[in-house]
Amino acid sequence: MVALTLTPKALYEEVAELLRQRIFQRELEPGSWIDELKIAQEFGISRTPLREAIKVLAAEGLVTMKVRRGAYVTEVNEKDLRDVYHLLSLLESDAAGEVAQHASDAQLDELNTLHAELEAAVDDRERFFELNERFHLRVLEIADNRWRLQMVTDLRKVMKLNRHNSLLKRGRIAESLQEHRDLMQALGARDGTGAARRMRTHFSNGLEAAA
């Protein structure tokens, strides 16, 4: 087996990202044990940076540490999911309201461009997932509150553990697109209250599809 070539960036950060992608791609399934020895050998590294990487993922909620049993990929139950969606709804609706009122015309044009790309990706599920997340995070970036952005970024990592269940529901992608259209209409009208309400509706419907 050929060892991976990793740059000195901070080795544990690169290892964390490799593991993160394996979790998101279901190569490491929720509930599965993380075999440190096997992964360290596969990556061609010692177990020290691997353990540091696992600590990062544990802080993000993607990994659960069990006493004397090691690290496991987190399993998201229904309460976890509802809690995550509730917080995302509060944080992202607040951001949408601010964007409607304070974003520049150029920033709204950027969101319109992202939305158009999302519309065009309706038949490419993986690209749709990617663009959908990019759109939501761009709304947060434009709202310009780094603490809110950090909280949402971490919460969205946990949501990804269950993301396929929500948008795989029959008709959900079409519904999600319509909700985005409604949101864009409110943003374009500079309607902060309407934008916040439509973002809350988006998350409420997303939770119903995911649960």
Which residue ranges make up each domain of the chain?
11-73, 78-210
What pLDDT does residue 177 have? 94
* Long-range contacts of residues 187-190, Cβ cutoff 8 Å, at least 24 apart: 187/96, 187/99, 187/100, 187/103, 187/108, 187/111, 188/108, 188/112, 189/100, 190/100, 190/101
78-210: in CATH 1.20.120.530? yes
What pLDDT does residue 120 have? 95
If one looks up domain 11-73 in CATH, what number appears? Answer: 1.10.10.10
Cα distance between the two ends of the chain: 40
Q: pLDDT tens for residues 75-124?
A: 888 899 899 999 999 999 999 999 999 999 999 999 999 999 999 999 88
The two structure tokens encoding residue 5: 């070539």
pLDDT grade for 200, boundaries at 50, 70 and 90: very high
DSSP 121: T
Q: Name the phi and psi angles at 70, rounded to 5.
A: 100, -155
